[in-house]
Amino acid sequence: MLLKQSGYRKDKKIIPFLFTSSMWCGGALIFLIFLGLIFELFWQGKQAFSVFGFHFITSTDWNPGEQQFSAGAALIGTLVSSCIGVVLALPLSFGCAYCLNELMPQRFSKYITATIQLLAAIPSIILGMWGFFILVPLMSQYVQPFLQNLFGNVPYIELLFSGGTYGIGILTAGLILAIMITPFITAIMQESFSNTPVMLKESAYSLGATRWEVMHQVIVPWVQKGVVGGVVLGWGRALGETMAVTFVIGNAHHASWSLFMPSNTIASLIALEFSESAVGSLKMSSLMALGAVLMVISFVVLFCSQLLLKQVLKSR
């Protein structure tokens, strides 16, 4: 009797112990892999950082023939193109999510939701080719001349739209990125939209609030967190996007004010140059350093958004 009882107790201890410890291992492994990745990138990029120093970030030179590498141009290209992507995708996906949840009857909205999810599943290379063959000619023939006519005489702003209208460039890359991240942001926003308590909305309506007032004063405050989360996720994807951007950005190592000029992003630069770099060379080290810079940017973006979120939640 006594034996049996102790055996039972032992059993009861071992299985939870095994379970919790394996869960701990899983969590710790993720953390270790993350640390290992960061360490590896910085370690491999050490040579580039020590040779170029701070100039690696600030300079825009890239000349493999003369062993000159820097992140400047690609850094600007990455930030600008992903910002354009987020700025364009945000209203689009907000509208999409709002329309699907609030305005559209359920029997239509479920098909459109499925379409949006399918859009998210399209491989980026397909979007890149579509961008190159469809979007680029459209941009060069209609959109870019239109923008140039519109802003051509406005001081300072004209700088953004100067140069040739070749269709390839940072603006087109931003557009492709916007199309790519819209489904992600929409999906997350939709989730938080549907989490808004119906009672709150109904009460607002019953007090005589218009649709705009309900959206503005009830739904938006409620979904703030979801919106920020969606933007961060979308931005993260835009920062690291490679193939689609390579097709339309023009791959030039220049930093310019114009959104029509070809540029480069860190991810596409790494993908382009990787196969041509010898192991242990300064070029390879520079590519690794570029990877480290990209990681830092993503980290900063994530950190800032968390900070922003905290501020927003506090003020409420």
Partner 1 sequence: MSFFQNKNLRVVSVLGLSFAFFAAVLPNVKAQDVVTITGVGSSFAAPLYQNWAASAVKDINIKVNYQPLGSSAGKNQIIAKTVNFGALDMPTSIEQLTQENLVQFPTAIGGVAVVVNVPGVKEGQLRLTGDIIADIYAGKITKWNDPRIVAINSGVTLPATGIAAVYRADGSGTTQVFTSYLSKESANWKKAYGSNTSIAWAVGMGGRGNGAVASMVKNIQGGIGYVEYAYALQNHLNTAQLKNVAGNFVAISEDSIKAAAKAADWIHAKNYSVDLIDTKGADSWPIVSTTYVLVHAENKTSQEVTKFFRWGFEHGDAIATQLHYIPLPVVVKEKIEKTWEYAGVAGKEAKAK
Cα–Cα distance between 144 and 308 in angstroms, integer?
Answer: 34
Q: How far is CA 245 from CA 128, 132, 173, 242, 268, in A?
A: 7, 10, 5, 6, 7
Decide: is 279 part of the binding site for partner 1 (CB under 8 A).
yes
Q: How many CB atoms lie within 10 A of CB 74?
A: 25
- DSSP-assigned letter for residue 63: B
Q: Residues 108-137: x/- map of binding to partner 1 (CB under 8 A)?
A: ------------------------xx--xx
CB 85 to partner 1: min, Å: 20
CB of 54 to partner 1, least distance (A): 21
Answer for which of 119, 138, 209, 252 binds partner 1 (CB under 8 A) is 252
Work out whether 1 is an interface residue with partner 1 (CB under 8 A).
no
CA angle at 162 for the pair 157 and 168, rounded to the nearest 5°: 120
Residue 68 near partner 1 by CB under 8 A: yes
Question: In this structure, what are the phi and psi dihedrals at residue 12, rounded to the nearest 5 degrees?
Answer: -65, -25
Q: Which tokens go with 2?
A: 């006594």
What letter would DSSP give residue 28? H
Output the CA–CA distances (angstroms, integers) from residue 308 to 150, 192, 213, 224, 312, in the order listed.
Answer: 34, 18, 24, 11, 6
Place of tokens 């460039």: 169
Our CB check for partner 1 shows the closer of 136 and 297 to be 136
Site string for partner 1, 142-171 (x = CB under 8 A): ----------------------xxxxxx--
Counting residues that bind partner 1 (by CB under 8 A) gives 32
Interface stretch with partner 1, choices 33-41, 189-197, 220-228, 251-259 (CB under 8 A): 251-259
Q: Which of 77, 250, 291, 294 binds partner 1 (CB under 8 A)?
A: 250
- Residue 234 touches partner 1, criterion: CB under 8 A: no
Q: Does 276 bind partner 1 (CB under 8 A)?
A: yes
257 belongs to the binding site for partner 1 (CB under 8 A)? no
Q: Is 275 in the site for partner 1 (CB under 8 A)?
A: yes
- Lay out the site mask for partner 1 across 190-229 (x = CB under 8 A, - = otherwise): ----------------------------------------
In angstroms, the Cα distances linking 154 to 87, 88, 150, 194 are 22, 22, 8, 43
Q: Candidates 246, 258, 265, 286: give the one binding partner 1 (CB under 8 A).
A: 246
Rank residues 64 and 240 by Cβ distance to partner 1 and give the closer one. Answer: 64
**Strand partners for 63:** 68
C-alpha 186/C-alpha 230 separation (Å) is 8
Torsion of CA 189, 191, 197, 202, to 10 degrees: 60
Residue ranges in contact with partner 1 by CB under 8 A:
61-66, 68, 132-133, 136-137, 140, 164-169, 246-247, 250-253, 262, 272-273, 275-279
